């Protein structure tokens, strides 16, 4: 026998692999380096964003030098914002919503990771996203559009009838995603608010693939007349003021929750109301004040419970999107010197109260801007006491400084509506021409001949928007007539 065994084939294979690995490792040391850092995930990649999208996230493959990322990240067109970090994840929070109807590109051409320094490799990053289209709806008043709900897309200058000819739309509320609209309507042959039923109609917008004009019945009028209604921000809850057809004393709010049968809200009847931004409570006018009513599921014993009562305020115009404050109206019944005036108050959820405006006519509307730091108001002043002729105007209040500025004075008219764009860049309003008492077009009980629609841009420069100083330019007349223009969220 030989003193040493011959090497087996398996031994020779193992030795060859060891030599190969040693060569590869030596090559990596001499010629290579660590893998390039990169953006692993971008939350808005190829997404369509809306007013509720306030920040995006970037996740990197390794911990990054934060300054190198912040200095080299660009967004075109620019979107001012601020950075925050948590490990390998970076958040960029916008100072205000992205303008609607725009395409954006995010670029990060160079950056350094935390441990390898400026010489480290980085894979350049680019991505795109878009904002929702600039669209609004209105109720037509002329020709084939009369009484119909019309959609106008400012992004592509297109116009679409959402409801059939012969229908009469009385009121409507867009869903927060812009894909549907909740509306109160009369079908052909019906007349008067007592016959209205609730429907939804698709817009063809949003993330859904549904075409526009698909109508579904939400609530019929068989046993009850349907009056005022409101839609929660999350789109899951509808509150409707209803009165029994056979018993007028059977009056009060009903709740429609998705997937459940309509149910009566067990609370005292009231007047005007809105659903709070949390979608869990109702602000309902009761007597001389406003009650905050719980809106929970039918199985919850708290449903209908009065959570708070604000005795001095008879109307709630709007609630800030963060729920921290509300714009509320006092009719000044306890002050003899102001009895025939109305005062708009800013009321915080901590009980702080600040008077904002006092008018001799009426406070018609008030809407918080997306930052909740500006309040846009539609009010009217009495100019002829005997005929009660009033002149509306649009005003902005800076809630940080208390400054009040009139943006636009409208011609004398009995009624008007306004709608602040979801991105806060423009206001839509109507300008009503009164008609004869037998006019076929009626708004808020007022017979009208026609109604112009106007677009009022609010900012001339990005600096004015950053400093929250609206500088409106001359309003643009839209090439069609309509009532109650409302932006799609």
Give 130's strand partners: 48, 103
Closest CA to 428 of 438, 436, 420: 420
Give 390's strand partners: 382
Sorted by where each starts, the structural domains of the chain and their CATH numbers stand as: 39-131 (2.60.40.3710), 355-489 (2.130.10.10)
Cα gap 462→187, rounded to integer Å: 46
Average pLDDT, the chain: 89
The strand pair at 81-86 and 48-49 is best described as unpaired
pLDDT score of 33: 53
Number of alpha carbons in the 13 Å side-chain half-sphere of residue 333 = 9
Integer distance in angstroms from the first to the last C-alpha of the chain? 92
Average pLDDT over residues 79-98: 96
pTM (2 d.p.): 0.88
Confidence of residue 472 (pLDDT cuts 50, 70, 90): confident
Tokens of 76: 């075109």
Confidence of residue 4 (pLDDT cuts 50, 70, 90): very low
Average pLDDT over residues 85-110: 96
Average pLDDT over residues 155-184: 95
Cα gap 332→343, rounded to integer Å: 7
Q: Which residues touch 430 (CB under 8 Å, ≥6 apart)? A: 138, 416, 417, 451, 452, 453, 454, 482, 483, 484, 485
Burial 133-154 (b: 16+ CB within 10 A, else e): bbbbbbbbbeeebbbbbbbbbb
Average pLDDT over residues 385-405: 91
What does the DSSP 8-state code read for residue 411? P
pLDDT at residue 119 greater than cutoff 80: no
Report yes or no: 359 and 365 within 8 Å, Cβ to Cβ. Answer: no
Cα gap 407→396, rounded to integer Å: 7
Confidence of residue 31 (pLDDT cuts 50, 70, 90): very low
pLDDT at residue 346 greater than cutoff 60: yes
Burial 174-194 (b: 16+ CB within 10 A, else e): bbbbbbbbbbbbbeeeeeeee
Report yes or no: 368 and 356 within 8 Å, Cβ to Cβ. Answer: no
Query: By mean pLDDT, which of 202-211, 313-322, 402-411 is the weakest?
Result: 202-211
Query: In the sheet that 168-174 helps form, which strands lie side by side, from edge to edge?
Result: 168-174, 180-186, 197-202, 215-219
Report yes or no: 379 and 393 within 8 Å, Cβ to Cβ. Answer: yes
Number of neighbouring beta carbons within 10 Å of residue 166: 12
Length of the chain in terms of residues written: 489
pLDDT in tens, 404-430: 999 999 999 988 999 999 999 999 999
pLDDT at residue 113 greater than cutoff 80: yes
């Amino acid at each position: 026998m030989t003193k040493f065994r011959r090497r087996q084939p398996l031994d020779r294979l193992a030795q060859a692999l060891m030599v190969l690995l040693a060569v590869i490792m030596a090559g990596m040391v001499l010629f290579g380096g660590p893998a390039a850092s990169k953006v692993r995930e971008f939350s808005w990649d190829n997404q369509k964003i809306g007013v509720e999208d306030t920040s995006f996230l970037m996740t990197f493959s390794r911990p990054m030098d934060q300054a190198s990322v912040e200095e080299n990240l660009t967004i075109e067109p620019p979107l001012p914002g601020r950075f925050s970090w948590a490990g390998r994840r970076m958040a960029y929070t916008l100072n205000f919503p992205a303008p609607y109807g725009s395409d954006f590109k995010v670029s990060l051409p160079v950056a350094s990771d935390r441990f390898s320094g400026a010489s480290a490799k980085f894979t350049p990053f680019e991505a795109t996203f878009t904002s929702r289209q600039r669209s609004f709806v209105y109720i037509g008043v002329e020709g084939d559009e009369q009484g119909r709900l019309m959609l106008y897309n400012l992004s592509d200058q297109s116009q679409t009838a959402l409801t059939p000819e012969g229908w009469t739309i009385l009121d409507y509320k867009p869903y927060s995603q812009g894909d549907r609209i909740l509306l109160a309507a009369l079908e052909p042959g019906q007349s008067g608010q007592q016959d209205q039923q609730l429907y939804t109609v698709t817009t063809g917008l949003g993330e859904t693939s549904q075409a526009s004009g698909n109508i579904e019945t939400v609530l019929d009028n068989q046993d009850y007349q349907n009056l005022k209604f409101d839609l929660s921000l999350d789109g899951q809850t509808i509150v409707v003021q209803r009165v029994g057809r056979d018993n007028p004393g059977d009056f009060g709010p009903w709740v429609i929750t998705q997937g459940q049968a309509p149910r009566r809200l067990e609370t005292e009847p009231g007047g005007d109301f809105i659903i709070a931004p949390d979608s869990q409570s109702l602000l309902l006018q009761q007597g001389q004040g406003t009650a905050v009513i719980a809106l929970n599921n039918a199985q919850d014993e708290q449903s209908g419970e009065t959570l708070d009562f604000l005795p001095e305020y008879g109307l709630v115009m709007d609630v800030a999107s963060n729920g921290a404050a509300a714009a509320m109206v006092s009719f000044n019944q306890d002050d003899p010197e102001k009895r025939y005036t109305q005062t708009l108050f800013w009321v915080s959820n901590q009980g702080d109260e600040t008077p904002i405006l006092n008018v001799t006519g009426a406070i018609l509307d008030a809407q918080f801007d997306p930052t909740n730091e500006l309040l846009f108001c539609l009010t009217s002043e009495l100019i002829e006491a005997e005929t009660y002729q009033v002149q509306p105007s649009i005003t902005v209040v800076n809630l940080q400084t208390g400054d009040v500025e009139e943006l636009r004075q409208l011609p004398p008219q009995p009624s008007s509506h306004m709608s602040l764009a979801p991105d806060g860049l423009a206001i839509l309003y109507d300008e009503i021409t009164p008609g004869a008492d037998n006019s076929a077009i009626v708004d808020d009980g007022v017979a009208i001949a026609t109604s112009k629609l106007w677009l009022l841009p609010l900012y001339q420069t990005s600096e004015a928007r950053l400093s929250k100083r609206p500088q409106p330019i001359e309003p643009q007349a839209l090439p069609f007539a309509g009532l109650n223009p409302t932006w799609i969220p």
